[in-house]
A and B are shown apart, each in its own frame.
Chain A
Amino acid sequence: MPLQGELLESLRFLCPKISREPLRSFGFAQDKDLGVLCGFTDDAMIYDVIVVGAGHAGCEAALAAARMGCQTLILTMNLDNVALMPCNPSIGGPAKGHLVREIDALGGEMGRNIDKTFIQIRMLNTGKGPAVQAPRAQADKKLYGLAMKHALERQANLYVKQALIEGLERIGNDSILKVITSTGRSYEARAVILTTGTSLAGRIIIGEKSFAAGRAGEFAAYGLSESLRRLGFTLGRLKTGTPPRLDARSIDFSRTIIQPGSDIPLHFSFDSPSFAGRINPTPTLARLDSHSDVHFPPPNPIFPQGNHTPWRQQIPCYLVYTNEKTHQIIRANLHRAPLFTGAIRGTGPRSCPSIEDKIVKFADKPWHPLFLEPEGWETSEVYLQGANTSLPEDVQLAMIRSIPALEEVEIIRVGYAIEYDFVPPNQIVSTMETKLVRGLFLAGQINGTTGYEEAAGQGLVAGINAALKVKKQPPLILRRDQAYIGVMIDDLVTKDLTEPYRLLTSRAEYRLLLRQDNADLRLTPIGHDLGIISQGRYEAVETKRHAVATELKRLAKTHLAAEKLAGSIDQCGLPSIARSVSALQFLRRPDVDYHTITKLGYGDPQLCLDCAEQVVIETKYEGYIQRQEAAVQKMLRLEQRHIPDRFDYAGIKGLRYEACQKLERFRPQTLGQASRIDGVTPADMALLMVHLEKRVQGSAVQRFRDPNREPRTVNLTT
């Protein structure tokens, strides 16, 4: 492709010093660290942290706790399903891609793991501003799980066991928690993190059929739901669904539209080699074009390749559309759809409606796009993105076969809906710890969220906070202006959840600050401070921060003389400049990028691409970024005012009943959180402030100075 050649040219131009260092293998066992355990365990052993569940939340939680030095045990009912992707085979996308970058910057595993195992990656929303651009990768599902399992197995301090947990108990008053397996064994720990996904009293529904299951082919966990109720928790019920998987051999790919992967090298993790200079140690073109060194399994030849992407082997996705016939078949069978017959009671996510829901809700839309997504390098299984359904099996087949490319399709796995128990998250605080049981943390779908990335983000924070609690250190609370993870958790603890929660860029009011491209700059210092980001990586990020700042200063001082530049500007096809401007001012123009500056001879050829990207964004969006920073400063005043745990709302004279009820239920930790609770008015806030002030003025002892409750605050300049 011509674009590719041009791009490589410009890369060469920008990075003339290419070290021809060989690319590391993409094999899974890169770490020399064999993950030494600290000795034999016995029944009397009290672990620091036990993680129940080894999905996306559980793995991050366990790895973080173990990396922070805690003796950690992870329990899963099926070790063959570690980090399973029971639904879509992709990671990333708007807001979710942001999450993965943040998880990576905080020392989580998801970014690294997907980088090792993706079969395709793309940057979405490239036509839009940098705040909403996001990478998304298609995973080889099996390899993803396997790579994560290996990461667990090679992690020092982390014990891995297969067990179905049926009970959870508090032992006496000394804040030790005990989990009990279905075979009767029990394990004890100072902190327990539940990441049970959809397995709590899970029930699968397909058409007229329904049966108990945690996921297709797995047990449901009933005992744990009961234990939670016995401990005093309120449980709710949610629903989610997954589309059928198709056999690639029965698909007519010639009638689909090929969606190729990225031409440009892309990765999630700062640790992974990439052009965008996930610099470690320096960005190199060697890594770029020596893809031949990278060993991937051979792709299943059943998948048409489309254009070869030279930087790396990828498999495309394929686009098809539903049509009137598809919709007719669905409409004719709505009386058999559990969603409409009342067989499903739980609420599903509006952002991810089932195909039958789409046909009913968007009745005037003549077609819906469906994506055929290969589930791995070698498998023939194809995920039908956009068609999640709980219609009876025969209807699923009929409706899919109404699509031209899928006329003769065979379903490998049938689509289904699943209902499961969750713990409405007004019962946790921002550290992910429950209000009711100290030392018990919840993360992932048990909190009513949906999505692998959402789960992983919560798991990471829960793991970190469980470790901090065990070590008696102040907790980590990420604020809404610091991270999407912070936005998500804050939403969970301040808003009534009426459907599975999915993170969206539109939920982040400071999204100009929370970009996926600056997640490393925003959060690496926090990860480093926690001890889960290595010194080397921390320094690399600080070097980048410094390079960006230096370049911004240099550009501000560099002046472009109008008359001298006239010729070259014409050459670049740009409108001429009337008077002498600084390079920084010039860069603000919409048609100018760093490449232009370099072409005119004012760029820094040593600057890594990643740094150049930051320089451009910081310059072009400076005004907006400053405005958001000012808004953040305003918000921080409320955010820094803490509300004591057992604050007596009923004792506030004149507080409206509704506000009082909501505040009692959510028990916000800060005034900022209180202000975000639906139904709390400014007048209520004024009253609340007065009464908080009364406490402070009234007592010399500040009761909420408990070091365990004082959140870790990190001031960042991004």
Chain B
Amino acid sequence: MYQDTIAAISTPIGEGGIRIVRLSGQDACSIATKLFDKRLSDRRLSYGHIIDPGICEVVDEVLVAYMAAPHTYTREDIVEINCHGGIVPLQRILGLTLKLGARLAEPGEFTLRAFLNGRIDLSQAESVLDIVQARTQASLRLAVQGLGGRLSGQIRSIRNDLLSVLAYLTARIDFPEDEVEEQDALEPIKKAHFELDELIAGADVGIVYRQGVRTAIVGRPNVGKSSLLNRLLRENRAIVIPIPGTTRDTLEEVVNLEGVTFVLIDTAGITHSEDVIETLGVERSRKAIEQAALVLLVTDISEPLNAADFEVIELLDSRAVLVVGNKCDLLSFSQESRVRGPPPLLKADS
């Protein structure tokens, strides 16, 4: 179990000049060597570049520290890649280490290894373990809720396909005389392989998701959701990666606002036919809210709330909600004074 090599971003989320991807395990050095254009030497900081070996492209300019076992924090080989280029190259580097055979570290796993390998004592380890437990439960909840069971549904379906192949093969092997009808076993395996490959390809994106705050922008049509989104993206000179959403009818954008990563679930940028506009709007908002940790409820502050607004408001649950009063440029001063007070209100003139 504890023989594989783990990797993680070991600096906290937030703005900072340098972020570190840390690798620990017996393949740490060989994985880093494949990505780094300079040689690594024990207990030296080497300057160079991380190259994506697939496309031979420079990902970031980095400093890499290599510490050979056993005199390290985990008592395993450790490589620390100090990156400069911000969150996106950082996550790409992490993704590359995973592609080369490292596994994403569980919360607290570096410390767990440090303990298991006799590096630290139990009281130090126990505090980490609390986190391990808490985070495991939390991530489990997230996996179930956040993804709306969609991923597990996909996996279950692949699993079922593979199970029936397995059952068939087992029957053929273990019950050779029961005349099990011949089936093609290779095709379903190929299909599952393809589907899993697709899921894995999507998983690089998943890492980005996991690091960010999933934020839904909801509100009735024409309230200015698109404008708010565009404004958020542009104004902060944010790095924007358009990623196809988990459903076909949402688009997700990753934006880094003052060092914190947000995944904006954009219900705005979708065109739809006129006749089903209302129902689609509600349905889309419902989905977005379900997937989000934070909800931005966009209202048109220049008009009183109408039935369509309330339809969206009814969808809100106990999740963190920020109410955005948009179009405040259309507001007269006297109107503005009426809209103060809870819930927290952001004014925007997007």
Contacts and interface: CB of A to CB of B under 8 A. Distances in A.
Interface stretch (A105-113, A332-340, A555-563, A689-697): A689-697
Contact of A653 (B116, B126, B166, B169): B126
Interface in A338-388: 351, 369, 371, 386
A675 B116 CA distance: 17
B178 A369 contact: yes
B176 A637 contact: no
A128 B2 CA distance: 35
Contact of B3 (A634, A654, A694): A634
A697 B121 CA distance: 9
A504 B174 contact: yes
A690 B116 contact: yes
A470 interface: no
Interface in B151-196: 166, 169-170, 172-179
B330 to A, nearest CB: 53
B170 A504 contact: yes
A587 B16 CA distance: 60
Contacts of A94: 173-176
B173 A132 contact: yes
Nearest to A654: B133
B203 interface: no
B176 A125 contact: yes
Size bin of chain A's contact surface = 20 to 34
B208 interface: no
A685 interface: yes
A128 B133 contact: no
Nearest to B167: A506
Contacts of A698: 122
Interface in A676-700: 682-683, 685-687, 689-690, 693-694, 697-698
Contacts, number: 71
Given A94-B174, A637-B3, A697 B132 contact: no
A68 interface: no
Interface string B232-276: 000000000000000000000000000000000000000000000
A61 interface: no
A638 B1 contact: yes
B177 A690 contact: no
A505 B132 CA distance: 38
A637 B4 CA distance: 13
B53 interface: no
B136 to A, nearest CB: 5
B18 interface: no
Given A125-B173, A369-B177, A683 B1 contact: no
Interface string B116-134: 1010011001100110110
Contacts of B178: 369, 386
B144 to A, nearest CB: 15
B115 interface: yes
A501 to B, nearest CB: 14
Contacts of B3: 634, 637
B132 A686 contact: yes
Interface in B94-108: 106
Contacts of A95: 174
Contacts of A690: 112, 115-116, 122, 125-126, 129
Nearest to A128: B173
Nearest to B117: A693
Contacts of B129: 653-654, 686-687, 690
Nearest to A698: B122
Interface in A400-450: none
B35 to A, nearest CB: 24
A654 B130 contact: yes
Nearest to A682: B1
B133 A697 contact: no
A135 B112 CA distance: 48
A694 to B, nearest CB: 5
Contacts of B169: 506
A386 B170 CA distance: 18
A675 B1 contact: yes
A46 interface: no
B160 to A, nearest CB: 17
A697 B118 contact: yes
Nearest to B4: A634
A16 to B, nearest CB: 35
Interface string A72-97: 00000000000000000000001100
Contacts of B118: 693, 697
A124 interface: yes
Contacts of B175: 94, 351
Contact of A371 (B2, B112, B116, B177): B177
Contacts of B122: 690, 694, 697-698
B176 A124 contact: yes
Nearest to A638: B1
Contacts of B136: 683
Contacts of A369: 177-179
Query: Which residue, B126, B132, B177, B179, has most C-beta atoms of chain A within 10 A?
Result: B177
A707 to B, nearest CB: 26
Contacts of B112: 686, 690
A125 B250 CA distance: 53
Contacts of B170: 504, 506
Nearest to B109: A686
B177 A683 contact: no
Interface in B15-73: none
Contacts of A124: 176-177
Contact of B174 (A506, A637, A653, A693): A506
13 contacts: A94-B176, A128-B173, A369-B178, A506-B174, A638-B1, A653-B129, A682-B106, A683-B132, A686-B129, A687-B132, A690-B129, A693-B115, A693-B118
Interface of A: 94-95, 124-125, 128, 132, 351, 369, 371, 386, 504-506, 634, 637-638, 653-654, 675, 682-683, 685-687, 689-690, 693-694, 697-698
Interface of B: 1-3, 106, 112, 115-116, 118, 121-122, 125-126, 129-130, 132-133, 136, 166, 169-170, 172-179
Given A386-B178, A654-B129, 15 more contacts: A94-B174, A94-B176, A95-B174, A124-B176, A124-B177, A351-B174, A369-B177, A675-B1, A683-B133, A686-B129, A689-B2, A690-B112, A690-B125, A690-B129, A697-B118
Query: What 8 A-B pairs come out closest when comparing CB atoms?
Result: A506-B170, A504-B174, A654-B133, A683-B136, A132-B173, A94-B174, A124-B176, A694-B122
